[in-house]
Amino acid sequence: MTVTQADRAAAAKSGGRRLRWPHYLLIAAGLLVLLSLVRTLDGANDLTSSGTVGAALRLAVPIFLAGLGGLWAERSGVINIGLEGMMILGTWAGAWAGYQWGPWVGVAVGILGGALGGLLHAIATVTFGVDHIVSGVAINILGLGLTQFLAGMLFATEEAKALGGGERQSPPIDSISTLTVPILSGGEVFGWKSPDVLGSIEKHHWFFVSDLAGILRGVTSDVSALTAVALLLIPLSFFVLWRTSFGLRVRSCGEDPYAAESLGVSVYRMKYAAVIISGGLSGMAGAFLVTVAANSYQDGQTNGRGFIGLAAMIFGNWRPGGLTAGSLLFGYTDAMNVRGGGSSVHALLLFTAILLIGAAVWQAVRAGRLRPDAATDAARRAVRRAYVASGAALVSALALLTWFLLSDTVPGELVSFTPHLITLLVLALFSQRLRMPAANGLRFRKGEAR
């Protein structure tokens, strides 16, 4: 079976017609128009400002890298709950090497630290057949305890303390250089101060045009070089996993390892490779936190981003494009929390209410189209589910709209929990439309019968 044939078979099995890039671009344009409308009505200019977009990108990258690590592991059939622990290992290893030999060495050592966590997970699950969830939880606990011990031992020495270290933090690390596109987003080129075309358009707050300029300026101004490297991993991972024989072997292990073994695929080797890559990507996410986001190691720095990355992977249906969208969604809500607080999140209430009204109308139309053909019990159940979903979306939209009209801000406690609420919401809404690899999490023993 070729790579293309395998993709077609998987699409047929999962059901439904997969959207193409023009459809995604049309959806993105529609969402931007709606966001611009909400920004104009509410006056919440932070919704599409370049500062918010830049912060969202920085906050999304570690989530994306952790989620991409989970994607590699689970496409090979290994559940990786230990992403958080591997990220923690990456933060400590990246900081330890970074403050001594520079940030790029810190990134490389952080990747190595995460990869060692992935290797441990592979030994436990692939070689010894340990339950994947148990192994992942153990790695999370081990990563947290080990890094706290090592930080107290190596960052609290007299030499490290003289540089600003301590038991719960490392000495500061030099920043990784940033990239700015001249003319479009300003900056300097050999001493010449470039004009900032997008910035000048953004300041006028024109409908749609200024919003688009703000978004483009956010992704072309002061972007870390490590962020650019992380973004390149999106097409690279898609190409390797879906357009190469190596990627086909990895995915075949996640769908049917016994069939893959019968065709000569070294299932153990593929699983080991995928899980180690998974750990390395998680370690890179941790290194990003200490070299870009904070410029030092701090205890508790990951703050659950490994688990949010896992949720973004599920939201993205185990594909790089969907994972990227989910990561940007979580990063955006987190950026709104950091920059705008309750007033900006308050504007999102109106945005979400309008989206839910659209979803209610779509489900009602869908139910109306299904109703004439509802001759079987299964078809009638599908019609009922569509009507129930339409009603639930409409009630939720009215509740959010009422909240928006009767208040001026959102309580701080809810604002700080917004990213986690979004995580639960998207998983609840999209869980029935997802398809994980068929053999994900199943125990495989070489030479055994199915």
Closest CA to 358 of 389, 381, 382, 327: 389
- Is-contact 36 211, C-beta < 8 A? yes
Low-confidence ranges of the chain (pLDDT < 70): 1-19, 340-341, 373-375, 412-413, 416, 419, 422-423, 425-433, 449-450
Task: Write down the pLDDT at residue 17.
Answer: 55
pTM: 0.90
Task: Write down the pLDDT at residue 363.
Answer: 84
For the stretch 399-424, pLDDT in tens is 989 999 998 888 866 776 776 776 67
Query: Which strand (E) or helix (H) includes residue 402?
Result: helix 377-406
Numbers of helices and strands, H then E, in the chain: 19, 4
Task: Write down the pLDDT at residue 3.
Answer: 46
Closest CA to 126 of 308, 272, 325, 319: 272
Question: What is the topology classification, in CATH, of domain 49-180+222-340?
Answer: ABC transporter involved in vitamin B12 uptake, BtuC (1.10.3470)
Closest CA to 259 of 428, 95, 438: 438
Please state, for a pLDDT cut of 90, what percent of the chain lies above it: 64
Q: Counting beta carbons within 10 angstroms of the beta carbon of residue 15, is it exposed (0 to 12), middle (13 to 18) or buried (19 or more)?
A: exposed
Query: What distance in Å separates the CA atoms of residue 260 and residue 266, rounded to the nearest whole number?
Result: 8
